[in-house]
Amino acid sequence: MKIIKRSGAEVIFDLSKIRNAVIAANNSVGEDRRMSAAQVEEISRNVERTCEQMGRAMNVEEIQDLVENEIMAKRAFEVARSYITYRYKRALVRKSNTTDEQIMSLLEFDNEEVKQENSNKNPLVNSVQRDYMAGEVSKDITRRFLLPQDIVEAHEKGLIHFHDADYFAQHMHNCCLINLEDMLENGTVISETMIERPHSFSTACNIATQSIAQIASSQYGGQSISLSHLVPFVQVSREKFHREVEEEFRQAGLTLDEEKIHAIAEERLRREVKQGVQMIQYQVITLMTTNGQAPFITIFMYLHEVADGQPREDLAMLIEEVLMQRIQGIKNEKGVYITPAFPKLIYVLESDNVTEDSKYWYLTELAAKCTAKRMVPDYISEKVMKELKKGDCYTCMGCRSFLTPEDSQRNPDGSRKYYGRFNQGVVTINLVDVACSAKKDMDAFWRIFDERLELCHKALMCRHERLKGTVSDVAPILWQFGALARLEKGEKIDKLLYNGYSTISLGYAGLYECTYYMTGKSHTDPDGGTEFALAVMQHMNDACAKWRAESNIAFSLYGTPLESTTYKFAKCLQKRFGRIPGVTDKMYITNSYHVHVTEEIDAFKKLKFEAQFQRLSPGGAISYVEVPDMQDNIPAVLSVMKFIYENIMYAELNTKSDYCQECGYNGEISIVEEDGKLLWECPCCGNRDQSKLNVARRTCGYIGTQFWNQGRTQEIKDRVLHL
């Protein structure tokens, strides 16, 4: 059994330390008020037993709380007072500098919590460590004087989660849709260097990847680009190659055979397209941003985003090449093709590609093969999205954060503006804590719910106020050179924070557990469970609408991914309420509105059920189905894709894509338990060295490849198949 020290280091549980601490507190009081040696031993053993029953590594603070409770249960109040006083004095000493231990343990590769915090950041790498060090300082500043104390306390207790506190000290926003079209067509500036309109497709791809890296270093969330914005430069290269081939014919004294010239030019164009797409894939994966990871980038593939005719044919060619290269994968250090985490791909299912007799069905078949092998692309239904988004279809910002349609934000041609807009940040409410705090009393539930929502509102306004007054000079590529806007030097970004230009998100987590606690039923149960869950969702939407009307800030409801926070919330719930069967008895809580990972339900029923909740999560949501290896069953993948088109706006298929570098095993790496800890193990050779395992899993809308904390690992282990 292991514990997590305050520094984040993981160490073996040592019963003698608990025993010695209790003895010291016991000896500090008068002999007539001391506990017996047998009582001291009983306290120590009870604490040990409780830690074992938790099924996870508890931290020092949790263990000390257990000790306090045990001493109080023995009615040794003066001993308890002595123990509490000692804890308080030690806490005061630590508060004089809250970052030293965490940073030093990080530098010595000994911080278990940091190791498992982000599934796409390797904490052994210097640039990642530098980012984490800066993050520790930022979190310390944020806790001590940037945020109100009630928000800090609510965050630490797990009532709410104030996301990305490690970036809050800086004036940075969350995620965005890059206006790549503006940057390419009208030029941009990267590192004080003027970049003019490119004269070839390959140059456009190069500019795009350099822009992506710069943008990723200027914000902390995901970003998305549309493949359609590269389409005009396919024609630029086509015309260039046509001129070149024509000139070669002239110089060789050959007859100017237009058909042959066109064929040769198209062949060269195809090669350039292949090289350009390869450039995007490899540069995105290999570029390192200032936060020590590859850019969190999503590529959007939507045929109807360009005009019919040659532009659409060119976009189809780009989509085909992207899918072909992603199916192949990238080589790991052993030279074996594996699944990369980024770029994330989104493929739009539309009337021109969703049936066997449609023009671009071949692309949909290719997408299905890619999903079966590499877990991407994800799928947006043009049909359903247009129903939900005022007739528009567009991509999310990163893994799931969606802008809302704004009639006040228009492009010069009159269409609604999406590219160039962004999200100000996220604060998440723990719905499970609201329910448990209400103790099954419905009146108390709605009252506490409103109190917690107001806490979230207050925290979100802190995010908004932190961005107000930011001058465009802090991130020129974003605010001055087209990625998000073209403001003047020294101009404040304030006008972009209102009137729907940017959104700000109320996140939510644990709808299933909340419903189960309050009604005794899963939210999939039509006899009361579903009705209650939908009412909870509507209540949060109503709160966002109210805040929006009061402030002209685009509040919207967002289904939080909860990568590491799922574990934090679970630990906080167990500390506050104990282990409640079906509610707080696991190391994780459920993401957003999702069906619980252990609940048996088929893929089609799951997607149909979750569609009604996705409609009530306009600021961001994604649904998934867990499937086995589907590479030999592409028709089944296509059936799911067709169902998505008819029934739900945004969904994905979760498969497995793993590799063991020790023995060459290419299959699903197992999760095993040893000494209370979950470990990844090759089922073929037993290898547990994570540095020699390539594991890719979809964790919350995007693929992770650097492993996960214990809560998320248990959630992955518990997943049942839906197909």
Note if 520 is an active site residue.
no
Q: Residue 130: how many CB atoms within 10 A of its CB?
A: 13
Does residue 399 carry a catalytic annotation? yes
- Cα–Cα–Cα angle for 292, 143, 710, nearest 5°? 55
Q: Angle 296-298-301 (CA atoms, 0-180°, nearest 5)?
A: 170
The tokens describing 46, both together, are 């009870």
Phi, psi of 337 (to 5 degrees): -70, 125
Element (H, E) at 699: none
- Tokens 């040696």 belong to 37
Our answer to whether residue 700 is catalytic in this structure is no
CB atoms within 10 A of CB 465: 10
Q: Where are the alpha helices (DSSP H) in 506-633?
A: 511-519, 529-551, 565-577, 603-614
Q: Which of 401, 437, 522, 564 is catalytic?
A: 401
Q: How many residues can be counted in the chain?
A: 723
The rounded distance, in Å, linking the Cα atoms of 346 and 302 is 8
Identify the three-state secondary structure at position 587. Answer: coil
Taking the C-alpha atoms of residue 419 and residue 397, their distance in angstroms, rounded to an integer, is 10
CA 459/CA 470 separation, integer angstroms: 18
User: From CA 442, how far away is CA 444, in angstroms rounded?
Assistant: 5
The answer to whether 222 touches 426, Cβ cutoff 8 Å, is: no
**Could you confirm whether 20 is annotated as catalytic?**
no
DSSP code for 718: H
711 catalytic per annotation: no
The closest of 562, 536, 566, 569 to 450, measured between CA atoms, is 536
d(CA 428, CA 530): 22
Query: Is 701 marked active-site?
Result: yes
For 51, counting Cβ atoms within 10 Å of its Cβ (0-12 exposed, 13-18 middle, 19+ buried), the class is buried
- Which residues on adjacent β-strands are paired with residue 460? none
- Write down the catalytic residue from 83, 302, 517, 558: 558
Q: Letter for the amino acid at 129?
A: Q
- Stated as kind and residue range, the H or E segment containing 165 is none
For residue 174, indicate whether it is catalytic.
Answer: yes
Cβ neighbours for 243, distance < 8 A, ≥ 6 positions apart: none
Task: Detail the DSSP E strand segments found in 227-343.
Answer: 297-301, 330-331, 337-338
Q: Which of 59, 138, 174, 179 is catalytic?
A: 174
The whole-angstrom separation of Cα 601 and Cα 687 is 33
> Which of the following is catalytic: 701, 702, 704, 709?
701
Summary count for the chain: helices (H), strands (E): 24, 23
Please tell me the distance from the alpha carbon of residue 647 to that of residue 644, in angstroms, as a whole number: 5
Annotated active-site residue in 176, 397, 462, 572: 397
Output DSSP code: residue 487: P
Mapping DSSP to helix (H, G, I), strand (E, B) and coil, where does residue 472 land?
helix
**Which run of H or of E encompasses 652?**
strand 650-654
Q: CB of 371 within 8 A of CB of 653?
A: yes
Task: Quote the DSSP letter at residue 695.
Answer: E
Cα 616 to chain center, whole Å? 19
Catalytic, out of 44, 423, 623, 647: 423
Pairing of the two strands 160-162 and 10-12 = unpaired
Choosing from 301, 399, 537, 641, the catalytic residue is: 399
Q: Is 206 left (phi over 0), alpha (psi -120 to 50) or beta?
A: alpha
Partners of 507 in the β-ladder:
428, 558
Q: Examine residue 311 and say whether the peptide bond preceding it is cis (omega within 30 degrees of 0).
A: no
- Are the beta carbons of 600 and 696 closer than 8 angstroms? no
Task: Please give the Cα distance from 579 to 311 (Å, whole number).
Answer: 58
Residue 174 tokens, joined: 């969350």
The residues near 206 (Cβ < 8 Å, ≥ 6 apart) are 198, 279, 283
Q: Which residues carry out catalysis?
A: 174-175, 397, 399, 401, 423, 558, 563, 701
